[in-house]
Amino acid sequence: MTQSTNTGTTDLSKRTPEEIFKHHAQALGAEDLDATVMDYADTAYLVTPDGVSRGKDAIRAFFAGVFQTLPQARWSVKTIYVEDLLFLEWTADSARAKVSDGVDTFIFRDGLIHAQTVRCTVVSKT
């Protein structure tokens, strides 16, 4: 069973980094692309070893790829918050692939994600 990841009429600008990431993690777990992208500022960017994705359309495309690569994944995370910054170590396991070395950094401002870095190695199971 999945929980709703819709924040309804909540004022997003009032969310703490912990609240933003809690929603983000729920949206990822539910593979809810709209809810995932909702957590990002319009001018947000996401940096990976492959380059920079700028804006919500590019971030939407990135996460659509994540959901395709790691469908119905089981996620495990370790978080360290410092003010408006989150350091995240994570793993993911799905029927198609797994990740055992995920590392992200998030920068939050005004209740949204403004920047994120992602580094991981996806290992295919097929």
pLDDT in tens, 88-106: 999 999 999 999 999 999 9
Would you state the pLDDT for residue 3? 37
C-alpha separations of 56 from 1, 25, 61, 67 in Å = 28, 17, 9, 16
Would you state the pLDDT for residue 100? 98
State the DSSP string of 45-111.
EEEETTEEEEHHHHHHHHHHHHHHHSTT-EEEEEEEEETTEEEEEEEEE-SSEEEEEEEEEEEEETT
CB 74 within 8 A of CB 92: yes
Would you state the pLDDT for residue 10? 63
pTM, two decimals, is: 0.89
Would you state the pLDDT for residue 61? 97
Q: What is the mean pLDDT of residues 23-51?
A: 96
Q: Which domains, from first to last, does the chain contain?
A: 14-124 (3.10.450.50)
d(CA 21, CA 39): 8
Would you state the pLDDT for residue 4? 41
Would you state the pLDDT for residue 11? 80
